[in-house]
Amino acid sequence: MRRMLQVSIIVLALGLLFGGNSPADAQGYGAGGRGFNTAESYYIKSSLQGRRAKTVRKQIRNNPNNFANARGINRIGKARRKARRKARRRARRLRKRRFKKRKTVSRVRKKIARKKIARKTKSNLNISAKEPVQIVVSLPRQRVSIYKGGKIIASSRVSSGKLGHRTPPGIFSIIQKNKRHFSNLYGGAPMPFMQRITWSGIALHAGNVSRPYASHGCIRLPYGFAKTLFKRTSMGAHVIVASTSASPQSIVHDNLFQPLHEGVVVASNGPTGSVMTDQSSVGDARPELELGGLPGFVKPVVQARQKLMQKEKDLEKSIAAVPALAQAREQLEKELEARKASLNVAKKVAFASGKSLREPRAVVSKIKRKRSPKTRALRKAESRAKWAWKIVDKRRDNPRFEGNWMKKALARARSRDEIVAVKQAAVDDITKELDVATAQYDELLYVDRNARATVKARQSEIHKTQAALKKAQKDLLSGKQAVLNGKRTIRKAKSAIKSAMAREKMPLRILVTPRRGRERTIDTQKILAELGYEVGVADGAVGSMTRTAIKAFQRELGLKESGRISDSLVEELYKRVGRTQEANAHMYVRQGFVDLFDAPVGISDATK
């Protein structure tokens, strides 16, 4: 106790000596009792800024807590971070406003420019939707011209493919139209008012035409011009992309096709120059033109009506087949119900027979249990009697056992034989009783087995009937679906007649091109097939079967096995079949975006 008091006095004296006059000074808080030292006060004064900093400084000055210094510094850091975040948000909002303003101004300018172009082109581009047009694009001039009846009705500047993505020249048709389209090749670039002319990605669409040769192969049009042209053109319209300055020219010659009178079409089965009117029989029109031996066509409306008649016949057959299918299904349903009723009867009989087996089975079991101990006792008695007689027979000739012993042994053996006879009689009686009960049980068991077999047979018949009913139901549904499909095809056939009538009003488009590439490949495949080589389908594609056939033919001639189609190979093939290669060109005829027929033709002077 005295030592503790001495330690306390020493600690108090050291505190008064080095710490000042107050307990707070003794704990290290100097600088006039403000709660922080001079260095820390200078740091806080230099770092505090603004009204928030003054408030925090007052709180720190008046706070007597030991941790006021640390809390004040943390609050100052929070205030500075908050001010920085606020400044950043303000700068971000200002940037967004400026960007939005620039974007709005750009959008307004583009809209004004589109309206100006639309006002300029809308007055010029006045195309009737029923009249065919021709679109001619001149790549050198970077202009598009719209022709109707051989006269130009509108023109505008374009921007075609740049270096490395040149727009291919040729004669094309509009094969797809989409008002809002996005490119699937160039990162979803917008292609408004797109009119596709090739499946490889070439199309007419609205875009920037401020510079020539700036696209990736497409033909860009001014926005207003593209919008109006999109409304006025239809599928199948001709688009001519020329590598020179081109314009449609009329050609009149006696050997060219001549227009027929209205309501008259080419007959497919008549002599040369024969015609067929709308009042002619539909059956007279066949899909082969005998004029010059070329494959031809019949009137599209006649073809459509023939298809409609065939579809109507098919629909009548389908409608006639539905009642028979429904009747078959109803009959199977009735048969199934009858079989189910007979199955229930058979189940009842089987249940009754099984129930009647219980008592005889119990009787037989009871008799067997009763016979078992008697049978064991009989066997035991027989064993004892056998042993007694065995002893008698063994000692009968021995003089030692004569007299009374032998008499007693014989009496014992005979008594045991009597016991055996009594037990045998008891077993025989029980056996007779068991035979009678077993016979009754066997009769009932036979009846039960027949009843169970009948139940299984009924169940098998029901399964077969259910399968037949399921098939009949499926056939009926397919018949009804065939009727619905027939009605749908009839509607399509009627709409095809309307479209064929509209297509008949469109002009024929004829293209004559030199026989190269696909046409020559088809000819080669057909001749090889005539010579017995396996080439598959003559589709104009050089596949593995065609190459194998060409190699076999070259091997037969002793030539180099290249597997390629060349002029010398085609010449040898024609020599082998005994024909001359007369057709050096091919003619394609199309009407309303539908291929009517194509045939090989000969050009006397193909160089001109």
pLDDT tens for residues 426-450? 889 988 988 888 888 899 889 899 9
Average pLDDT rounded to a whole number, residues 345-365? 89
Q: Which of 279, 265, 237 shows the shortest CA–CA distance to 504?
A: 265
Per the DSSP assignment, residues forming a β-bridge with 437 are: none
Q: pLDDT at residue 187 above 70?
A: yes
**For position 118, what pLDDT does the model report?**
52
Closest CA to 582 of 597, 572, 571: 571
Confidence of residue 254 (pLDDT cuts 50, 70, 90): low
Q: Per mean pLDDT, which range of 61-65, 354-358, 515-519 is the poorest?
A: 61-65
Which has the higher per-residue pLDDT, 199 or 510? 199
Q: Are 264 and 277 in contact (CB under 8 A)?
A: yes
pLDDT of 52: 53
Q: How far apart are CA 504 and CA 506, in angstroms?
A: 5
What one-character-per-residue DSSP string does 553-570 give? Answer: HHHHHT--------HHHH
The confidence score (pLDDT) of residue 536 equals 78
- Beta strand pairing status for 219-221 and 238-242? unpaired
Torsion sign over Cα 440, 441, 447, 450 = negative
Residue-level pLDDT at 170:
83
Most confident range (mean pLDDT) of 129-133, 182-186, 448-452 is 448-452
- Residues 513 and 136: their CA atoms lie apart, in Å, by 19
pLDDT in tens, 472-485: 999 999 999 999 99
DSSP 280: S
User: Residue 195 to residues 46, 189, 219, 586, 607: CA-CA distances in angstroms?
Assistant: 72, 15, 10, 28, 34
63: its two tokens? 């706070």
Greatest mean pLDDT range, 109-123, 139-153, 501-515: 139-153
In this structure, the number of other CB atoms found within 10 A of the CB of residue 602 comes to 11
Neighbours of 62 (CB within 10 A): 10
404 or 96: which carries more pLDDT confidence?
404
Mean local confidence (pLDDT), 386-403: 84
Rounded average pLDDT over 177-189:
84
Q: Do residues 114 and 208 touch, judged by C-beta distance below 8 A? A: no
Q: Which residue has the higher pLDDT, 528 or 261?
A: 528
Using CB atoms within 10 Å of the CB of residue 199, give its burial: 0 to 12 exposed, 13 to 18 middle, 19+ buried: exposed
Band of pLDDT at residue 605, cut at 50, 70 and 90: low
Q: What is the mean pLDDT of residues 493-497?
A: 87
Give the whole-angstrom CA distance, residue 278 versus residue 497: 14
Identify the CA nearest to 79 among candidates 54, 61, 62, 42.
54
How far is the C-alpha of 532 from the C-alpha of 552, rounded, in Å? 11
Q: Which of 434, 427, 428, 432 is nearest to 368 (CA)?
A: 434
- Report the pLDDT value the prediction gives residue 185, as an integer from 0 to 100: 80
pLDDT band for position 464 (50/70/90)? very high
Q: Is the pLDDT of residue 408 over 70?
A: yes
C-alpha distances in Å from residue 3, one per residue of 9, 14, 29, 570? 10, 17, 30, 129
What pLDDT sits at residue 473?
A: 92
Helix, strand, or coil (residue 56): helix
Name the pLDDT band for 55 (thresholds 50, 70, 90). Answer: low
For residue 509, is pLDDT > 50?
yes
Buried b / exposed e across 455-492, counting CB within 10 Å, b at 16+? Answer: beebeebbeebeebbeebeebbeebbebbeebeebbee
pLDDT of 593 above 70:
no
For residue 597, what are the β-bridge partners? 589
Average pLDDT over residues 138-148: 89
Q: Could you tell me which of 239, 223, 222 has the C-alpha nearest to residue 158? A: 222
Average pLDDT of the segment spanning 206-230: 89
How much is the average pLDDT of 98-111?
68
Q: What is the mean pLDDT of the chain?
A: 75
**98 three-class SS:** helix
Asked whether 299 and 289 are in contact (CB, 8 A), the reply is no
d(CA 476, CA 464) in angstroms, rounded, equals 18
6 or 381: whose pLDDT is higher? 381
Distance, in Å, from the CA atom of 325 to the CA atom of 317, rounded to the nearest integer, reads 12
Report the pLDDT averaged over residues 219-243. Answer: 87
Q: Among 29-33, 215-219, 373-377, name the one with the lowest average pLDDT.
A: 29-33
Whether the CB-CB separation of 233 and 128 falls below 8 Å is answered with no
Return the DSSP state at 607.
T
Q: Of 61-75, 84-98, 268-282, which gets the smallest average pLDDT?
A: 268-282
Parallel, antiparallel, or unpaired: how do β-strands 264-266 and 143-148 relate? unpaired
pLDDT of residue 280: 38
Kindly indicate the confidence band of residue 221, based on its pLDDT and cuts at 50, 70 and 90. very high
Residue 195 banded pLDDT, cuts 50, 70, 90: very high
Is 50 exceeded by the pLDDT of residue 271? Answer: no
The share of the chain scoring above pLDDT 70, in percent, equals 70
* Kind and range of the H or E run holding 520: helix 518-530
pLDDT tens per residue, range 292-304: 333 445 677 888 8
CA 529, CA 549: separation in Å to the nearest integer? 9
Side chain identity, residue 542: V
pLDDT of residue 303: 80
Query: Which of the two residues, 252 and 554, has the higher pLDDT score?
Result: 554
Compute the average pLDDT of residues 208-221: 88
- What are the Cα distances from residue 336, in Å, to 217, 339, 463, 464? 70, 5, 9, 9
Q: Is the pLDDT of residue 67 over 90?
A: no
Beta bridge mates, 220: 159, 205
Q: Which residues contact 479 (CB under 8 A, 6 or more apart)?
A: 318, 321, 322, 325
Instruction: Please give the structure tokens belonging to residue 108.
Output: 């307004």
Alpha carbon 33 to chain centroid, angstroms: 84
Query: Terminus-to-terminus CA distance in the chain, angstroms?
Result: 136
Residue 596: how many CA atoms within 13 Å on its side-chain side? 27
